[in-house]
Structure formats: structure tokens, C-alpha cells
A and B are shown apart, each in its own frame.
Chain A
Amino acid sequence: MTAISSKLSTGKNDLSLLFKKLWAPFSLTPMLSWLCGALIAVLLEQTVGLYVAWTLGLPKIPVLFGVLIMLETPILFPSAVLYVLIIYILPVALIAWLTTSLANNLAGRLLDLQSWLAVLVHLALFYAVLHLWAEINDYRVLVVRLTLISIILTLSLNVVNGYMGEFSCSHPGFMALGAYGASVFTLALFTDDRTFGAPLLPAQLGVLMFPLSLIFGGVLAALGALIIAIPSFRTRGDYLAIISLAFMFIVKSLIENLDFVGGPRGLGGQPDWANLPTVFAWTAICIWITNNFVRSTLGKALNAVRDDETAADAMTVNTRQTKMVAFLFAAFWAGVAGGLFAHVLRYVNPGSFGLQKLAEILAMLYFGGLNSVVGSIVGAVSFNLVSEALRPLEIMKWIIIPVIFILVMIFRPTGLIAFTEFNVVNWIRPKNRIAE
């Protein structure tokens, strides 16, 4: 903590001083307090949000923290700011400040009891906040689900491009394989579909078997990845970039030519099983597994291969196998993300897994930061939120977003939060204790 405050005080501008002053009461506030505050805020929005919005002259509850309203009708700018202040910022700050010592106590006890229990409690609380916030309207639910899927995608690409240090362009292809694999699985087995006929198994079973269909999609994507991995890990350099690019085109073109999945028309009618809890659970599992993966011996071997393959080889790392495993791992998760994507939109077509998707995923990854789980999460969330928030600007959105990215790349070439380790316990620890 002292390190951070001294860093802040060396910056002589007023802004950092102001920030420091504002932050001072919260320097000991643990994550638990913030979550409690957020919970109160979303409950407040649910109960009185609409009345507050009407009083302030807003037609309805601002969906994305008032940004959309500010851009659409600038005259309502002060009202939107006031709304955000009344509903979100003030309650969160107040509750967080009030509960600081209590929450520190509670968090410490939880952590002493069982660390996984503490993590689960925080996660449940976070989900509650997210769920209540999203419940206000369908648009929020959709945005949250797509954002969570983006997190899985970005994280899985980070394993290849960040931790392994290669440049892979095939993620839209893996996603397409996963999306179509999972869709065909559910459509053929559990639903009455035009192309696949009557369901083979009862539909009630389908919800329970949904994870299986996602895993099926993921495995299909991993098998596809094998096609790339076998030839491309013989040499180093930019080889993977090209082969994976060719693979992406091949997958897209293959699906366009497969008539039983609808060809270029796409495949629709997937059941609505990818609701918010399901997507959230999969995202949490993906973050957990990926974080453990990159912190394991295998993950460290992966870093060693990236930094110096010859040296890693000399240190008994089986470089080729390490790269293969990591690549298939990444492809699997991209496939799962694709399966979720298909069941969220309930329609897929090959056109959505092209170069634009690739640019999107790469942008999220390099914006957030390489070799960092937190970076991927930050990148995916900020990209999705910014691109939703700037929606009223229509075409100018696609000038502003690239400019932001170029600036980030110029000033932080490896992304916002790069090369950090993600330690959950450190995040949720009571702040009156020293970090591990």
C-alpha cells in the first residue's frame, strides 16, 4: 500500500492528488464491501430506479450507466450523471465505507475457514449483483452474456498468443467448429428440427446434457486444432500465423458448403439453454481452469518455450508436446465459447466467423494485455462495454474504437495489464492483512 501511495504522491499533478484524497477512506476496503455496496445499488435500482429516472426527466432506466442517453440526447447529460451518482456511486461508496471493518472481519474469517469457500461466497455475491443488474431489461442480459463469452474467447487466445508467444489467427474457426458442433448436437438429439427431424432423446434431458453438447463442440474444435498443430509446431516464427489463417478460411468455406447445417444460410432454432447462470458458470470455470493451467508446471514450461525454445528444450521441457497441449486447450475453450455463442443468439451463420471476428478477438486480447488472465478479462469487458456504449455514434464508433486501440498500442505495446499473475485469494483478502 505504501508503495502505491508513494507512487501517487510523486506524480505532482492535482488529479492524482485528488484521486488519492478520494481514495483514502477506502484504502482498507475489501472486495466483500464493494460487492455488498454493488448489491445494495442494484437492489436500489430495481426498487426505485424507475422513479428516480422519471424524477430526473429520463424516459426509462439508463441501460448502460447513462452513456447511451448522453450520446443520444446530450441535453439529458446532467440527468444521466445524476442518476449514476444517486443509484450507483453514492450507495456503493457509502456502503463500502460503512461496512469496511465488518467486511474485513468477515472476509478474514471466511478465508481462515476455507479459501475455496471464501471464493465461492464472493463469486455468488458477484453473480447476484450481475443477475439483478441485468434483470432490468433483456438488452443488459444479452450484453452481459456476450461479454462473458468474449472473456472465454480472449482468455483462450491469450494462452496461445500471450503465454505461448505465437500468433494464432484461427480462433474464429475454432469458434465456428464449436458453435456448429454444439448446435448440431442439441438440434439432432433434443429438439424437433426441420433438418434433423424428431428428437432422439426427450427434450427435458437436453438441459442437463447441455454441458455435454458444449464439450462436444469444444472437442471438435480441439480436433480441428490438431490439423494446425501437427504441421505448424515443427518450426517457429510466423508459420503458425499463416497456417491458422488458412485454417480459418477453410473452416468458414467448409461450413458454407455443408448443406446439412444450412450452408451460407446458417443454422437456427437452437434452444434457449445458454441463459445467464449457465454462461456465467462456464466463464467462471474457464477462468479458474485457465488460471490454474498457466500457473502450473505446464504453463511455466509454456512461458519458457516462448522466451527461449532452445533453452527450454535443454531444461528437459518437451517443447513440441507443451505447445500442442496448450494449443488444443485454447481451441477447446474457443469451441465452448462458440457453442455458448450459438445458443445465446440461437442462430449461427458462417459469415459471423470471419475476419471481422478475428479482428475483434485480437483487439480484445492486445488491448487487455498479454500473458495475463486479468488483462484478458479487462480487455474483453472494456471492449464490449465501449462498443455497446458508443453504439449511438453509429459509423463513427468504428473510427473512435480503432483510434483508442492505436493509442493504447503506442503507449502500452503489450496491453493495459500485461504479464501479471492472477491470484484470487489476494483479491478477496481482507485489506487489513498483508498480501501474500
Chain B
Amino acid sequence: MAFFLQNVVNALQAGSFYALIALGYSMVYGVLLLFNFAHGDIFMVGAYVGFFVTTGALLLVSTLGLVALPGWVVLVLVILVAMLITAFVGVAVERIGYRPLRQAPRASAAITGLMIGIILETGNLALLGATRLSFPELIQTTTYTVGGVTLTNKRIMIVGVALLLMFALHQFVQRTKWGMAMRAMAYDFGVVPLMGVPLNSIAALTFALGSGLAAAAGILFSVAYPVLNPYMGITVGWKAFVAAIIGGRGSILGAALAGFLLGFIEIFVAVIFASTYRDLIAFSIILLILIFRPHGFFGEAHTSRLRL
């Protein structure tokens, strides 16, 4: 039982990253009906931005001789600042790669997304070189053991922050005027702009929100696995993309739940079978889910066509 619960905890942590990234995919799909294939790399950018903000902040504290804030306060501030900066990156990606192609076939927009992803990866590699950076440790790991289950404060923090952000996003989308505009746009992309909803601002907002969440995921990821590399976003990003799909495109709740589901599948496959079978079995399960629920768990049957 303790063994099972231990893996549930592990799965919750893995699922948090997937869920946060999948939300970005899902929102962009819901509002603009396109797959933002650069999203995985925005996750990577978020992690790097977090790294630089953290080192910058630590440097500032040590040079000015300020009273050092507790680690978790710094972390929260870093997450907020990095989310803001990465949101601008996301808006820039939308402006450069997607807005000029709004009338074009969606597949073309997917290609520009892929290409922007490659630019972000290579640009990172060209600017920072091939040395792997390691994320500074802001909070000391403390370990608690509850009934045979090992919890660390980092794990609790990761899952907690992820859930908090998801809740905040939910409130934003459900309670605010901007959120309402996003929902309306997701409902009918063609007509709603005619009702005076600014299409470009809503698109930018969607990308900003998604990128902010990806940045948070990136920092949380680096807290758990402190080594950064320019290609860290690829695999995680594509898996989160798949999670967004099985959650149901455009459904925020679905994306979050499917992200956690993917985490659970991956962790438990690795536990039950050998870890080399992880991708094989995880994706086979996803294939089966899609065969029986083509539109995901919470998605509506979309009759959208590729605008060719």
C-alpha cells in the first residue's frame, strides 16, 4: 500500500508538469484552433528565464548585502517574474509565427510553430553554448515520512503550486470579462470578433497565459530536476500535447486531468514493467483511449476542417 501511495505521489509530481503545459496547448487550440508546436520550447525558455532571474536575484542580494529573503519567497517571486517575461516571449511567438498566417491553412501555422521551436532551441544553444546549467537550489530539501510514504517539501510545493495555478486559471477564465471573451471565441471563432471582441488581443492573451503556465512548469521542473538543457522541452512538450488531446481539445479541466493521467500512466508503467517500455505502453494506452473516445474525455465533437 505504501508502495502504491509512493508512486501516486511520484505520478502527481510528473503529472503537474504535463498538466501545466497541456493547458497552454489546450487554450490555444480552443481559441485559435491551431496547435502551438513551439509550446514545448516555451517551457524550456521559461526554465532558462527562471534560471537567470534566480541567479540575478541571488547575485543582487549578495552584492548589495541585503537581508536574504527566505528561499520559498524568492522562489515565488522568481516564478511570477519568469511567468511575466515568458508571457512576452509567447506573445512574440504569436505575433511573428501565427498572426501572419491566420488566414492560411492551419498546417502551415503548425510548420511555423515547429520552426520557431527549432529557432528557440538553437538560439539558446548558440547564445549559451553547450554547457549544461544547473538550477540554483533555493529551498533545502526536507523529507517527511508519513505511513511509509516519503514526501519532500519540494514535491508538495510542486503539486501545490501547479494546482494553485490551475485554479487561478479556472477563475480567470470563468469569472473575468477577458476569460469570457476567450470562452466566446472558443465557441465561435468566426462570429465573435464581429461582436466587438478584439481578436488579436484575445489571441495574444491566450498565448501569454499559456506561456506563463509553461514557464511555471519549467521552473517547477528545474526545481525537481535541476539540470537544464536546450532540448529539454521537446519530449515533455509533445507528451503534454498528447495529454491536451486526450483531455479534449479546448477543455481546461480535461487538459489538467489528462496531464495527471499521463503522469500516472508513465509512472505506473515504469514501476510494473521495465522503464524502457514506458513510452511504448503509455502511447498504446493513449491510442486505445483515442480509438474509443475520439474527442478526448471532455472535448466536444469538433467538425472543424483543415482550412486548405
Contact = CB atoms under 8 A, between A and B. Distances in A.
Interface size class of B (residues with CB under 8 A): 35 or more
B116 to A, nearest CB: 7
Interface in A347-402: 355, 359, 362-363, 366, 370, 395-396, 398-399, 401-402
Interface in B285-300: 286-287, 290-291, 294
B280 interface: yes
Given A250-B283, A250-B287, A406-B97, A234 B294 contact: yes
Interface of B is mostly: helix
Contact of A359 (B114, B126, B242, B287): B114
Contacts of A193: none
A402 B115 contact: yes
A398 B308 CA distance: 28
A306 B208 CA distance: 34
B112 interface: yes
B283 A249 contact: yes
B112 A409 contact: yes
A66 B267 CA distance: 53
Interface string B94-113: 00110011011101111110
A253 B305 contact: no
Interface in B43-65: none
Contact of B305 (A231, A236, A402): A236
A235 interface: yes
A211 interface: no
A256 B123 CA distance: 30
Contacts of A399: 119, 122-123, 126
A306 B308 contact: yes
A73 B294 CA distance: 56
A405 interface: yes
Interface of A is mostly: helix
A224 to B, nearest CB: 12
Contacts of B122: 395-396, 398-399, 402
B284 interface: yes
Nearest to A255: B280
Contacts of B249: 238
Interface in B103-149: 103-105, 107-112, 114-116, 118-119, 121-123, 125-126
A337 interface: no
A165 B306 contact: yes
Contact of A403 (B119, B277, B294, B303): B119
A246 B279 CA distance: 9
Nearest to B286: A246
Interface string B21-44: 000000000000001000000000
A362 B114 contact: yes
A243 B283 CA distance: 9
B118 A402 contact: yes
Q: Which one of B35, B100, B308 has the highest number of Cβ atoms from chain A below 10 Å of its Cβ?
A: B308
Given A402-B115, A402-B118, A402-B119, A242 B101 contact: no
Interface residues of A, number: 45
B114 A167 contact: no
B88 interface: no
Given A363-B115, A395-B122, A254 B280 contact: yes
B89 to A, nearest CB: 16
A259 B287 CA distance: 24
A370 B104 CA distance: 13
B79 interface: no
B176 interface: no
Given A231-B291, A237-B305, A237-B306, 4 more contacts: A257-B276, A395-B122, A398-B122, A413-B108
21 contacts: A167-B107, A167-B306, A234-B294, A242-B242, A242-B290, A245-B238, A246-B283, A249-B279, A253-B283, A254-B280, A257-B280, A355-B234, A363-B114, A363-B115, A370-B308, A395-B125, A402-B118, A405-B112, A405-B115, A409-B101, A410-B100
